[in-house]
Amino acid sequence: MMHAEIEKAEIIERYVRNQLGPTERQAFEEHFLGCDECFEKLQAAEQFATGMRDAAERGILEAQSAPPVAIPGWFAWTLAATACIALILAGLAGWAYFEQLPRLRGELRQTAAQLKAEQQSRTPTEQALPEEQTEANVPLVMLQASRGREEAASVVLKRDDKQLMLWIEPGPSRYRDFRLEVFSSGNHLIATVDHLRLSRYGALAASLPTKQLPAGSFRITLTGRNPPPAALVGEYRLQIYRP
């Protein structure tokens, strides 16, 4: 899929509105995973759409759906001006929200403890562990998609570590539900995590028992499941060391 075709057919806008057919959608997803320019444009479009939805959920745009009534001309002009202001505020709300997003992500990366606290309070897929299974200083690794340029993420697991926390920021996606699969160097499936959902920071978090993860290289895939059809969203590399 070429850039001229993407712009002429408004592929990005139709993708955000979920109006592409299966063939076009798959072709565009394969394209933007390897194209930084289209990836950034899609991210901006997703951010604007999210901002508008957020404004609508807060009731900022409710004035737009009011039934028509007979009102004086000067009052109708006032309502029209109010509606325009509401639209501007909705756009500003979306812009301000996503302007703060990079700063919030940076703060999350400062300490593993802070990251775990956010994950427990914000990620719907997190399940509280019984008190006797709680663990301090859980090892954490942030995975980045492999597009032929990134090196494998690495982590050292000590003997007392019981869980490994994986943090993934998949970028813009039409999916609401994801599946994560972990494969050994011999391409054997060793772990699966279903029903992952994006947090408010656009990230996925999953916990794996370390007893399933010996020292070595691993390939991790992330697949979008809902809404169908399912498709590969990203592939990641992980190197585990054990002292």
Structural domain harbouring 126: 115-241
What CATH number does the domain containing 203 carry? 2.60.40.10
Q: Sheet with 140-143: list strands edge to edge.
A: 140-143, 163-168, 204-209
Does the pTM surpass 0.95? The reply is: no
**Residue ranges of the alpha helices (H) in 58-108?**
73-108
3-class SS at 166?
A: strand
The reported pLDDT for the residue numbered 63 is 46
Task: State pLDDT tens for residues 160-204.
Answer: 999 999 999 988 889 999 999 999 999 999 999 999 999 888 899
Q: Are residues 120 and 235 in the same domain?
A: yes
Q: Given pLDDT bands bounded at 50, 70 and 90, which one contains residue 24? A: confident
Given a contact cutoff of 8 angstroms between Cβ atoms, the answer to whether 190 and 182 are in contact is: yes
Q: Are residues 147 and 229 in the same domain?
A: yes
Q: Are residues 102 and 121 in the same domain?
A: no
The domain total for the chain is 2
Residue 232 has pLDDT above 70, yes or no: yes
The reported pLDDT for the residue numbered 50 is 75
